[in-house]
Amino acid sequence: MTTLQESPAPVVVPVPAGRAGFRHSVGSEWTKFWSVRSTPWSLVATALAIIGICVLGTATTNAHEHLSDPTRRSLIGFFLGQFAIGVLGVLVMSAEYGTGSIYSTLAAMPRRPLVLAAKVVVFGAVALVVSEALAFASFFIGQAILSGTTETAALGDPGVLRAVVGSGLYLALLGLLALGLGTIFRHTAGALSAYVGLVLVLPLIAQALPMSIQEAVSRYLPANIGLVVFSVRTPGHFFDIPVFNAWAGLALLAGYAAAALAVGWVLMVKRDA
């Protein structure tokens, strides 16, 4: 005798209404950002570079040495820290292409502009907070070391607060520029080469050019923008080279970062992955 068995009722999994939006993408990027080992190591490297060079640069100051700008001496570590933050900015995008996890990201969030925008928000916020914290830490540590040996500066002195805050903005904008390059090239080595070329190699090439060309292009280079930002005084010339003032230079650097991200956005939409 055959016994008929009732088939179990199907399990219905409720599907959330709507679709994933920008808030969900930001949450996802935040989780990914802190779940990879490169993030804390890059941030630690940035902090060690900036604070370490600050300590070395101020501790070796001769007691009889006259410092025209003690603030810039405290912020000297940012010249090295800009490379560490650039590595992290590139890896935020290029690491996903290198591991192939970008396919999972785009499957979960097919709207590619939202993916890039979420990365910009997450990385930009972290980079800005960390950069400003390191700028103020460098200033106070550097001035504490200089105290008693040579002249020092205070945040209330003319131009000092601008230099400290501007240094944090400068580093964060360089990180966003690196993120844009990582989106354009998709490969870590290529993006880092382009970043180092813009920040380090171009100023060296400019110095080898005739003075007329050097004066025309040097003010537009990120490295020279940084020299002005780190300084309390912002003259029209720096080491006999015409320069923009600090805020104009930061606005130009923000334009570079926006342009790189815009090109990366266009390529990210057009490419297969």
Query: For residue 171, what pLDDT is reported?
Result: 97
Query: For residue 6, what pLDDT is reported?
Result: 55
Query: For residue 1, what pLDDT is reported?
Result: 46
One pLDDT digit (tens) per residue for the chain, 273 residues: 455 555 555 554 454 455 668 898 999 999 999 998 889 999 999 999 999 999 999 988 866 566 778 999 999 999 999 999 999 999 999 999 988 899 888 888 888 999 999 999 999 999 999 999 999 999 999 999 998 778 899 999 999 999 999 999 999 999 999 999 999 999 999 999 999 999 999 988 988 888 888 888 888 999 989 989 999 976 666 667 788 899 999 999 999 999 999 999 999 999 876
Tokens of 137: 């830490």
- List the one residue out of 55, 49, 52, 77 whose CA is nearest residue 146: 55
Distance of CA 54 to the CA centre of its chain: 19
Q: Looking only at Cα atoms, what is the longest distance across the chain?
A: 108
Distance of CA 1 to the CA centre of its chain: 76
Q: How far apart are CA 237 and CA 149, in angstroms?
A: 29
Taking each helix axis from N to C terminus, what angle separates 22-35 and 38-59, rounded to the nearest 10 degrees?
A: 70
